[in-house]
Amino acid sequence: MSQFVSVALPARNAAGYIGDAVRSILAQTHRDLELVVCDNHSTDGTAEALAGISDPRLRIARPPRPLPIALSHRFAVEQTSSPLVAVMGADDFALPDRLAAQLAVLAAEPRLVLVGCWCESIDDIGHHLGALRYADRADRLRRDVLRANPIVLPTMLFRRAAYDASGGFRDDFGYAFDYDLVLRLLRVGDVANVPRDLLRYRYPRGGISFSAIKEVQRDGLRLRRSALRGGGYGALDHLWLLQPLLALAVPSAVLRAIAIPYMNFFHGRATPPEISPERAGTR
């Protein structure tokens, strides 16, 4: 029996990529979906690009005023109608079986409240940069969650009931709003990744990951400190505060230069315990 899923896609000034992102969702092998695009008061050609796409499953929503990034994601989710909600990035590209693969994992594991997937990372013009392959198993992910956010935001697929119970996307930790949601969802259930590259994740040089790189690190540090104060972690988990602290001591230009090599080295390779022989045969 098919599972109806909503896809929330927040967008602001994404005219150059939004068409491909939308079409990659509408072309999914899992056809039973709605796609809700939150056009967050774009001032480029985003609205025109969306107007050129005709599909009854596509819906455009606009908030009454421009919203910060966390609240634009919250608004997009609020416009959806399914108990299963996926997130998509306005400048990313989903492989055709992304939703089908994630839904299968979610259906097989009742304790899972959130499923992500591995990603290929690409630059502004689509050239390969590397990969993001965080822990896939729920037990490993829970153990290492303070090391880094283990779920890439535009790969999220969650149960709406768990999302609502945890408080949803909020603006308390700035750019770390997605990491904040992952940590809160772990209090109500399990989180895992599909160990396959199912999304092409774009790192534009003018994007937040580069332009606000110090703010990203600072917000991540604040979030980790808050999580540690909330309890449930061991003494050694405090060591994960060192990474953002060291990053804040490095000049922004240096951080931008090493960001992609750093991610590829520490997060771009699946370690042997993460891939069982059965899973290895499906990749």
Range of the domain at 255: 5-280
What pLDDT, on a 0 to 100 scale, did the predictor assign at position 277? 32
Determine which of 172-176, 177-181, 223-227, 262-266 has the lowest per-residue pLDDT on average: 262-266
Tokens representing residue 128 in the block: 């390969």
Tokens representing residue 107 in the block: 């259906």
Give pLDDT tens digits for 114-148: 999 999 999 999 999 999 999 999 999 999 999 99
Mean per-residue pLDDT over the chain, rounded: 93
Q: Give the H/E segment covering residue 122.
A: strand 112-122
Pairing mode, strands 93-94 and 190-202: antiparallel
What pLDDT, on a 0 to 100 scale, did the predictor assign at position 270? 60
Amino acid of residue 18: I
Contact partners, residue 169, CB within 8 Å, separation at least 6: 70, 71, 73, 74, 77, 177, 178, 181
| CA distance linking residue 40 with residue 19, whole number of Å | 16
- Three-state DSSP at 135 gives coil
Torsion sign over Cα 38, 111, 186, 215: negative
CATH number at residue 36: 3.90.550.10
| CA distance linking residue 4 with residue 49, whole number of Å | 26
Number of independent structural domains in the chain:
1
Q: Where would I find the H helices in the chain?
A: 18-26, 46-51, 69-78, 98-108, 138-143, 160-166, 177-185, 208-211, 213-229, 242-248, 252-267, 277-280
With beta carbons less than 8 A apart as the criterion, state whether 192 and 112 touch.
Answer: yes
Closest CA to 244 of 265, 224, 261, 226: 224
Determine which of 99-103, 218-222, 229-233 has the lowest per-residue pLDDT on average: 229-233
Give pLDDT tens digits for 166-180: 999 999 999 999 999
Closest CA to 57 of 90, 22, 88: 22
Contact partners, residue 72, CB within 8 Å, separation at least 6: 10, 12, 38, 40, 63
| CA distance linking residue 283 with residue 280, whole number of Å | 6
| CA distance linking residue 245 with residue 255, whole number of Å | 12
User: What's the pTM?
Assistant: 0.93
